[in-house]
Amino acid sequence: MKIALMDSGIGLLAATAAVRRLRPDADLVLSLDPDGMPWGPRTPQDLTERALAVAEAAAAHRPDALIVGCNTATVHALPALRDLLEPALPVIGTVPAIKPAAAGGGPLAIWATPATTGSPYQRGLIEEFADGTKVTEVPCPGLAEAVEHADEPAIDAAVAAAAALTPDDVTTVVLGCTHYELVAERIRAAVQRPGFPPLVLHGSAGAVAAQALRRIGAEPEPGAPADGTLTVLLSGREGALPAPALAYEEGRLLRAVSPAR
């Protein structure tokens, strides 16, 4: 079994680690786009073209499923990716976990990139899944970029700025960018208020990994032999994980994965 994941950068690490934990025997293909990152500031047409190229590079390795490990690419490029690759290759997008977060009740905040915050896409998800729930949309300028480069001072500053915009009564935070899941505990520490219930964080990685397995009829087997291999593609070229990936637990998990032969 082979699972491919794509993103402009290391935001795909959270979903990759989730797949690895569910199926340590799965071969992994990570398709990144260092030549074209970041995707966020690009026009939808330009982003879609970059995403299609990255997806085609992954598809050339004949995976059983492709996870789009990026919220922005899912918003703008998922229909084009599915038109290109399905039904031969199932394509699984990443959607902010607003539905399960709202189901828990209580005021919630959605941390997302400035381009996603207030967008028709995010507002549509709020109207569909969080009607009647107090929702605060929190823009997080610079946080994804800081995480991408493992820039510790910049991460601290961006998290602190977003935490200052998060109301004190918020009990749940939706991590609306895959990069944010890599610093989830730092976000929790910044937002948790004394005297309030423990903060609940909702990311998408686990659900996306599980959905990919369902789409190909595979069951989670965390106890399977950890003999899956790893292929890394950098704008279509075979390479290695970017050095900043190793600053995160999810990236370090992949150090033990053998390179594909």
Q: Are 22 and 213 in contact (CB under 8 A)?
A: yes
Q: For residue 81, what are the contacts with CB-CB under 8 A and spacing of at least 6?
A: 51, 52, 55, 66, 68, 91
Q: Do 113 and 194 belong to one domain?
A: yes
State whether residue 193 is helix, strand or coil: coil
The predicted structure's pLDDT at residue 40 = 77
Q: Do 31 and 88 belong to one domain?
A: yes
| Residue that is last in its domain, among 202, 225, 244 | 202
Backbone angles phi, psi at 119, to 5 degrees: -70, 155
The predicted structure's pLDDT at residue 104 = 85
Which residue spans within 38-104 are E strands per DSSP? Answer: 65-68, 91-92
Known catalytic residues are 70, 177
The predicted structure's pLDDT at residue 257 = 87
State whether residue 68 is helix, strand or coil: strand
| Residue that is last in its domain, among 182, 202, 222 | 202
Q: Do 28 and 154 belong to one domain?
A: no
Domain at 255, CATH number: 3.40.50.1860
Q: Do 117 and 185 belong to one domain?
A: yes
Q: Do 119 and 77 belong to one domain?
A: no
| Sign (positive or negative) of CA dihedral 22, 24, 26, 32 | positive
Number of Cβ within a 10 Å radius of residue 219: 9
Q: Do 89 and 209 belong to one domain?
A: yes
Q: Match 């075979």 to its residue by tokens.
A: 238
Q: How far does the chain reach from its first CA to its final CA, in angstroms?
A: 15
Q: Do 127 and 35 belong to one domain?
A: no
Give the domain extent around 42. Answer: 2-93+205-259
The predicted structure's pLDDT at residue 100 = 93
Q: Are 167 and 191 in contact (CB under 8 A)?
A: no
Q: Do 48 and 21 belong to one domain?
A: yes
- pTM of the predicted protein model: 0.93
The predicted structure's pLDDT at residue 59 = 98
Paired sense of beta strands 172-175 and 200-202, if any: parallel
Q: Six-digit token pair at 160?
A: 């602190």
The number of domains in the chain is 2
Q: Are 179 and 143 in contact (CB under 8 A)?
A: yes
| Residue that is last in its domain, among 172, 202, 232 | 202
How far is Cα of residue 208 from the mean position of the Cα atoms in its chain? 9
Q: Do 89 and 106 belong to one domain?
A: no
Q: Do 103 and 226 belong to one domain?
A: no
Q: For residue 232, what are the contacts with CB-CB under 8 A and spacing of at least 6?
A: 30, 32, 238, 239, 240, 241
Paired sense of beta strands 237-239 and 229-234, if any: antiparallel
Between CA 226 and CA 210, with CA 149 as vertex, the angle to 5 degrees is 35
Q: Do 186 and 121 belong to one domain?
A: yes
pLDDT by residue for the chain (261 residues), tens digit each?
Answer: 999 999 999 999 999 999 999 999 999 999 999 998 888 778 889 999 999 999 999 999 999 999 999 988 998 899 999 999 999 999 999 989 999 999 988 899 999 988 888 888 899 999 999 988 999 999 999 999 999 999 999 999 999 999 999 999 999 999 999 999 999 999 999 999 888 889 999 999 999 999 999 999 999 999 999 999 999 999 999 999 999 999 999 999 998 888 876
Q: Do 209 and 198 belong to one domain?
A: no
